[in-house]
Amino acid sequence: RAPDRSHPTPAQGPTPRYFTWDEVAQRSGREKERWLVIDRKVYNISEFVRRHPGGSRVISHYAGQDATDPFVAFHINKGLVRKYMNSLLIGELSPEQPSFEPTKNKELTHEFRELRATVERMGLMKANPVFFLLYLLHILLLDVAAWLTLWFFGTSWVPFLLCSVLLSIVQAQAGWLQHDFGHLSVFGTSKWNHLVHHFVIGHLKGAPASWWNHMHFQHHAKPNCFRKDPDINMHPFFFALGKVLSVELGKQKKKYMPYNYQHKYFFLIGPPALLPVYFQWYIFYFVIKRKKWVDLAWMITFYVRIFLTYVPLLGLKGFLGLFFMGLVQRSRRLGITSLAWECWFLESNWFVWVTQMNHIPMHIDHDRNMDWVSTQLQATCNVHKSAFNDWFSGHLNFQIEHHLFPTMPRHNYHKVAPLVQSLCAKHGIKYQSKPLFSAFADILGKRARWRGR
């Protein structure tokens, strides 16, 4: 193929444009321009952010910074991506400039890159297709079992409850499975990962892939960073989080809620409500506002399937209730609405406890532009390995390994864990792993401690 000459790149000319870290840091997007550095090369992403396939915000969170390690961590098709990137190249760091900003730990970064090379050589980035196939099968079987329970035993409250418990397992487990495809950790090409991602999150869960990408990649890029991690951003209105932020809220006299009681009202408005009251409705707003019609089409296939399979068993009245927040529910007690609400309620508790246990008790702060390993380790902890914990949390109990290597297939986390532990030990970085229930308890314990600030 003929080389693309439509974007002349100054760095390839005889006199490359040289920049300093200070010049790069000024292009963080606060003024107009956004630049970032990968392997000492300087890219102008001001205009590209809107076309970035992983979302505009995640890449913007690295504007003004070195992004070499997150670039390597998130992309599985680096050769192809680098080709596109050439059109954004505007120069490189001057030879006297160090390879990273002074906030970053140089030795740690070098050794982590060696570790990553070892991991790739060991084949730990390659997925075992049988694992994911069986995982999908166990979800589909439980889904069929839920339906058969109502069909066979009728719709009195015992089979009804059993059906909703099975459905919430299906929903929670499909949630963990979509996470694998969303991270491109199963197939060798992005295309196949994206396709099955749409099927699992769209058809099995009725949620948009684009919304999940938008939220989740930001969380991974800057976990527990105020204004950058959406999982933290939603909080200040309801909860005062973390030492740094609760002190700041206190100084600004911003008090939206009685934070002294946050460890108590967390039970009421956190775990049970996040999915049914917020996410379930927000996703429709998201896809329509952003014109994500493919996502909307996948979501509709979920509702059509539920309609065709459950309306014959439970009647039509309740189905409309799905969309009117349970108002119609009163006229038909065990309708499809109550089924959906029970299921969302159970799944929501499951989802919130598991996703909070790995991050909320850790350090929460503004972005201090630390190196990749420190950024991830100060914001992330693990939960011990066991067959139940692995299944219950979708292997997200190995959150540290997942955050360091987000495209690694989850069945390999435990193999890389000892290597990560020894890297941390060598550099005096705390690597935390705890039992499941103390992880849950820490979510509340920390909240109780932040209340008085």
Ligand X SMILES: *[C@@H]1O[C@H](CO)[C@@H](O)[C@H](O)[C@H]1NC(C)=O
Contact residues: ligand X, CB under 6 A: 33, 44, 46-47, 90
Beta-ladder partners of 365: 225
The smaller minimum CB distance to ligand X, of residues 44 and 99, is found at: 44
Distance in Å, CB of 39 to ligand X, minimum: 19
Distance in Å, CB of 34 to ligand X, minimum: 8
Quote the CA–CA distance of 132 and 403 in Å, as a whole number. 20
Contacts 24+ apart (CB under 8 A), 428-434: 429/108, 429/373, 429/374, 429/377, 430/377, 431/377, 431/382, 431/400, 432/362, 432/381, 432/382, 433/381, 433/382, 433/383, 433/384, 434/381, 434/382, 434/383, 434/384
Nearest Cα neighbor of 439 from 357, 321, 367 is 357
Contacts of 414 (CB under 8 A, 6+ apart): 385, 398
Distance in Å, CB of 44 to ligand X, minimum: 4
Distance in Å, CB of 26 to ligand X, minimum: 12
Q: Do residues 174 and 205 make contact, with C-beta atoms less than 8 angstroms apart?
A: yes
Distance in Å, CB of 340 to ligand X, minimum: 46
Q: For residue 343, what are the CA distances in angstroms to 168, 346, 378?
A: 5, 5, 34
The smaller minimum CB distance to ligand X, of residues 10 and 230, is found at: 10
The smaller minimum CB distance to ligand X, of residues 32 and 251, is found at: 32
Distance in Å, CB of 46 to ligand X, minimum: 4
The smaller minimum CB distance to ligand X, of residues 44 and 105, is found at: 44
The smaller minimum CB distance to ligand X, of residues 13 and 418, is found at: 13
The smaller minimum CB distance to ligand X, of residues 5 and 32, is found at: 32
Q: Do residues 406 and 380 make contact, with C-beta atoms less than 8 angstroms apart?
A: no
Distance in Å, CB of 33 to ligand X, minimum: 5
The smaller minimum CB distance to ligand X, of residues 27 and 447, is found at: 27
Quick one: 308 exposed, middle or buried, by C-beta within 10 A (0-12, 13-18, 19+)? exposed
Distance in Å, CB of 324 to ligand X, minimum: 46
Quote the CA–CA distance of 364 and 120 in Å, as a whole number. 31
The smaller minimum CB distance to ligand X, of residues 90 and 423, is found at: 90
Characterize 259-293 residue by residue with b for buried, 16 or more Cβ atoms within 10 angstroms of its Cβ, and e for exposed.
Answer: beebbeebeeebbbbbbbeebbeebbebbeeeebe
Q: Do residues 401 and 416 make contact, with C-beta atoms less than 8 angstroms apart?
A: yes
Distance in Å, CB of 56 to ligand X, minimum: 14
Cα within 13 Å of Cα(119), Cβ side: 27
Amino acid at 278: Y
What are the residue ranges of helices labelled H in 186-316? 190-197, 209-221, 230-233, 243-251, 262-269, 280-289, 293-314
The smaller minimum CB distance to ligand X, of residues 4 and 47, is found at: 47
Amino acid at 18: Y
Nearest Cα neighbor of 353 from 450, 244, 436 is 436
The smaller minimum CB distance to ligand X, of residues 46 and 433, is found at: 46
Beta-ladder partners of 382: 433
Distance in Å, CB of 21 to ligand X, minimum: 16
